[in-house]
Amino acid sequence: MAGHIDNEIVIDAPMELVWEMTNDIEAWTTLFSEYSEATILRHDGETITFRLSLHPDENGKVWSWVSARTPDPATRTVRAQRVETGPFKYMWIYWEYVQTDAGVRMRWVQDFEMKPQAPLDDDGMRERLSRNTPVQQRLIKAKVEAAFRGTARVG
Residue 118 DSSP one-character state: S
* CA dist., res. 37 & res. 53, Å (int): 5
pLDDT of residue 1: 62
Distances (CA, A) of 53 to 17, 63, 123, 152: 25, 6, 23, 24
For the domain made up of 3-33+71-149, give the CATH fold: Alpha-D-Glucose-1,6-Bisphosphate; Chain A, domain 4 (3.30.530)
Q: Is the pLDDT of residue 89 over 80?
A: yes
Question: 12-65 pLDDT, tens per residue?
Answer: 999 999 999 999 999 999 999 999 999 999 999 999 999 999 999 888 888 899
* CA dist., res. 146 & res. 13, Å (int): 9
* CA dist., res. 108 & res. 96, Å (int): 7
Q: pLDDT grade, residue 152 (50/70/90)?
A: low
Per DSSP, helices labelled H in 28-108 are 28-31
Q: Is the pLDDT of residue 119 over 90?
A: no
Please list the residues that pair with 26 across neighbouring strands: none
Domain boundaries along the sequence of the chain: 3-33+71-149
For the chain, list the strands marked E by DSSP. 3-11, 35-44, 47-54, 64-72, 77-82, 88-100, 103-114
Q: pLDDT grade, residue 79 (50/70/90)?
A: very high
